[in-house]
Amino acid sequence: MQAKKVFHLDLLGKEETWSLFMKMAGDVVEQNHRVRDVAIQIAEKCGGLPLLVITIASALKEKKKFQAWKDALRRLKSFDKEESTKKAYLALEWSYNQLDDKELKPIFLLCGMLVVQNSICLQDLLKYGMGLGLFKNISTLEEAQDSMDTLIEKLKDSCLLLDGETEGWVRMHDLVCDAANWIACKDQYILSVGYGGELKGWPERDCLKICTKISLRRSNIPTLSEIPLECPKLELFCLNSEDDSVVIPSNFFSEMRKLKVLDLTNMLMPSLPLSLQYLKTLQTLCLDQCTLGDMTLLGQLSSLEILSLLRSNVKELPREIGQLTRLRLLDLSGCSQLKVISPTVISSLVRLEDLRMRNSFNKWEVEGENSNASLSELKHLSQLSALEIHIPNADILPANLFSHKLEGYDIIIGDAWNVGYYKTKVTRNTLKLKLTNNNGLDEGLKSLVKRSEDLSLDQSVINIVQQLDTKDFGNVKQLRLQKNIDFADIINRKVVFPNLITLEVHGCDNSRFLFSFSIAKSFKLLKQLKISTCELLQEIVSSTRECSEENMDNMFSKLNSLELKALPNLARFGTANYIEFPVLEKLEIVACVKLAEFIGNKVAASSKDTRICNEIEQRILEEEENLDVRSETGVQYILFDKKVVFPNLVSLTVHGCDNLRFLFSFSVARSLVLLEHLKISSCELLQEIVSSTRECSEENMDNVFSKLNSLELKALPNLARFGTANYIEFPVLEKLEIVACVKLVEFIGNKVAASSKDTRIYKEIEQRILEEEEKLDVRSETGVQYILFDKKVMYMEIFLYASQSFSVYFLIMSASVKIKNYFSARS
């Protein structure tokens, strides 16, 4: 096989190569001088390519004998005469051959076939691996999952796989993927066309006769022949169509009778190909993202163990599916149009271990009615260990429906929850519970609550707390409470959440504060806190005598996201000098109309750790006509004053705070050394963004807005200027947008410095003044026409595109705006 790809590789220097090699190979290189001498030569044979350095060193790190290192050097020397890409393939093949576990090699090659844009879905790998029998000495799907996870970790340790960007996925480097397919093609007679590739023609008949696997994932392929492809040894056929126009001839599979895995994704099939009935050894069938009509033919696939209809358009699961008595996994996730499952189909699948129905069928009927499936059928599935299901009507819930054998579950009961679809299988036990009566929990539901890691409770199940032990919530990592659940009452019962990471409280109108100081300190792992639509809530953390600087340690020490929304009576987060946010990344405040002090009069803004926030988005949305945000002295309140420091703030948005006259003091502005995006809008009385104080001077201008690259000022009818005095710089500003600021007469005041140290103030400025009123007065108090950008910014260079520079970027405005001159000519 000749390499068809061109890889652009960044090479390491000799010292960098050796340093990386030693790090990956481990202590044996340092401890054995003979090994070290050979290792230096092996590192040189990697040619400075980081991928080869890592994979080869990782393959050798467990080799203690000198002979193994010497043999590796001999093998790598034999590749010297090959061209660079082939040499890389051979080196990766050598790493592949070092895999000791016999199960690792076929899993690695299968990973190469499943790569989509460098990523591999582990659920696809499980379905394919089960069908091909790649997991040895297992008797259940759960054991297969465990085996796969172990193999994946070993491949990561060998650096042939990488961690995925999201849970349930892993990644494979382009070069490793190409090498894997190269090995598979020459050793196992596999035809594999990569994602988005093209197959110009089918192989010759003799090649097809020995072919064991064909994988065409999102590939352009020639028309499928009416004459069946003769593939007597074919075990896997994957056709993932680029569109649904591909037509599969009725007899296409008639000469593939040893197929174990068949994947037909994104197909339009009013009826299934008749030749499917010949596939008596088929173990895995994936008809994902298909539009399916008549599926009665599936009942003839007597050996089928895995059936996946993921995100397919299917309206009915016919009675014939019940004939698949060997079925172990049925995936109906995302089949949102599925309205009918024939009665007794589910109960007939007596070997079913895994049933997935997220965002799918939920038209459960009461037992005895014969038009649709009933929940009681689940009781016949004695092997069921994983279940994903939605039951909108809790009234039809049979007693003790859920067995203690359920090891993994995502169960939604009631109509109060958002039922979303997630592509990858849920790995966290999830229970969302809303009952329609006050009856006690049966043993099955109690067991689910105790084992849940993601738990959501509605008002109707508040008595759960009374029925369970206070320590029964030890597994909960994510907790959501909604509709008048009194969280304070739960806490008063001394319920413990030692592993809580995320807490969401929504629509709970019974509490004036959320939790006490002592409870707040107990949330040592809390990372996300979301509170919304709580009518009476005045404080998040109640002020008590416990509060002091001495016991502030670890208060919200891991909190990185805080959202406060639609809390009309919230006055403050808390009071006194007792709250720190050392790692807060995001702060969002929406429609908190009485919020006057975010952290009270005595709050400490993380004096021990100045890294308060990596990113905070601060939003204040106010729709009421009048809002009083003055302090007790009657002086206009500053939203962010010197008591609050955000040294790592990146994004700040303020919207609809109608009584503010300025946003923050100069001392706060100086602290915003990382601020990149500033958006201010719909603040009725705002006159200045940064208030003028005696602190302002040329000496303390360093790093003020030094990172700001985007500034938006919109609908600020009383804004007169951004700020005054010679104290503001914008050295890297890229975009400036001003919309409907009808009284703006000086952008940066009379004494502003326009970055004399750095003339590249703006790479791009979009200056818009949009005003629909008939008259617009932009004169100064003296009655003289004011120039928005004048000679004080003469060093400003405006780059609209990289290839052009302009001294003036014209305004975009409505025809009714009467403005004679906004820019002075550049000297």
Give per-residue pLDDT as tens, 224-263: 878 888 999 999 999 987 777 788 999 999 999 999 999 9
| pLDDT reported for residue 192 | 85
| pLDDT reported for residue 120 | 93
Separation of alpha carbons 72 and 794, rounded Å: 66
State yes or no: pLDDT of 306 exceeds 90: yes
| pLDDT reported for residue 824 | 34
Name the E strands within 43-82. Answer: none
CB of 179 closer than 8 Å to CB of 126: no
Q: Kindly report the number of other CB atoms within 10 A of residue 756's CB atom.
A: 9
First to last CA, the chain: 66
Taking CA atoms, 333 is separated from 389, 406, 452, 752, in Å, by: 9, 18, 21, 60
* CB environment 198-230: b (16+ within 10 A), e (fewer): eeeebbeeeebbebbbbbbbbbebeeeeeebbe
- Residue 816, exposed/middle/buried by CB under 10 A (0-12, 13-18, 19+)? exposed
What are the structural domains of the chain?
1-83 (1.10.8), 99-173 (1.10.10)
Separation of alpha carbons 147 and 55, rounded Å: 23
Residue 574 sits at the vertex; the CA angle it makes with 624 and 646, to the nearest 5 degrees, is 85
| pLDDT reported for residue 640 | 59
- Residue 63 three-state SS: coil
| pLDDT reported for residue 280 | 94
| pLDDT reported for residue 38 | 87
Asked which of 318-332, 345-359, 683-697 is least confident by mean pLDDT, the reply is 683-697
For residues 728-752, average pLDDT: 78
Residue 212 sits at the vertex; the CA angle it makes with 206 and 214, to the nearest 5 degrees, is 95
| pLDDT reported for residue 305 | 98
| pLDDT reported for residue 627 | 28
For residues 802-810, average pLDDT: 28
CB of 263 closer than 8 Å to CB of 239: yes
For residues 654-674, average pLDDT: 74
| pLDDT reported for residue 425 | 52
Taking CA atoms, 491 is separated from 211, 449, 487, 526, 576, in Å, by: 64, 17, 6, 16, 22
Q: Kindly report the number of other CB atoms within 10 A of residue 458's CB atom.
A: 23
| pLDDT reported for residue 33 | 81
| pLDDT reported for residue 650 | 77
| pLDDT reported for residue 723 | 79
Separation of alpha carbons 723 and 750, rounded Å: 9
For residues 364-391, average pLDDT: 90
- Residue 713 three-state SS: strand
Report which of 136, 55, 127 is spatially closest to residue 96, judged by C-alpha positions.
55
Asked which of 184-188, 433-437, 483-487, 807-811 is least confident by mean pLDDT, the reply is 807-811
For residues 803-824, average pLDDT: 30
| pLDDT, greater one: 426 or 112 | 112
For residues 140-155, average pLDDT: 94
Q: Please give the mean pLDDT across all residues of the chain.
A: 77
Separation of alpha carbons 291 and 271, rounded Å: 10
| pLDDT reported for residue 74 | 85
| pLDDT reported for residue 827 | 32
| pLDDT, greater one: 72 or 344 | 344
Amino acid 420 reads: G
Amino acid 486 reads: D
Amino acid 274 reads: L
pLDDT tens digit sequence for 11-63: 677 788 888 888 888 888 877 888 888 888 888 888 777 788 888 888 888 78
pLDDT tens digit sequence for 64-85: 888 888 888 888 887 776 777 7
State yes or no: pLDDT of 737 exceeds 80: yes
| pLDDT, greater one: 668 or 444 | 444
* Position 726 confidence tier, pLDDT thresholds 50, 70, 90: low
Q: Kindly report the number of other CB atoms within 10 A of residue 145's CB atom.
A: 23
Query: Rounded to a whole number, what is the largest CA-CA distance in the chain?
Result: 94
| pLDDT, greater one: 556 or 646 | 556
pLDDT tens digit sequence for 656-665: 666 677 777 7
| pLDDT, greater one: 9 or 755 | 9
Asked which of 51-55, 194-198, 504-508, 798-802 is least confident by mean pLDDT, the reply is 798-802
| pLDDT reported for residue 579 | 63
State yes or no: pLDDT of 573 exceeds 90: no
The phi and psi torsions of 793 (rounded to 5 degrees) equal -115, 40
Sheet of 735-739, strand order: 651-655, 677-681, 710-714, 735-739
- 533's tokens: 């639509």
For residues 360-381, average pLDDT: 89
For residues 743-748, average pLDDT: 78
pLDDT tens digit sequence for 766-795: 344 333 333 333 333 333 344 454 433 322
pLDDT tens digit sequence for 445-501: 889 999 999 999 887 666 677 777 777 888 999 999 888 776 666 666 667 788 999
| pLDDT reported for residue 583 | 76
| pLDDT reported for residue 203 | 84
Strand 169-171, strand 162-163: pairing: antiparallel
pLDDT tens digit sequence for 117-128: 889 999 999 999
| pLDDT reported for residue 438 | 61
Return the sign of the alpha-carbon dihedral for residues 126, 129, 130, 134: negative
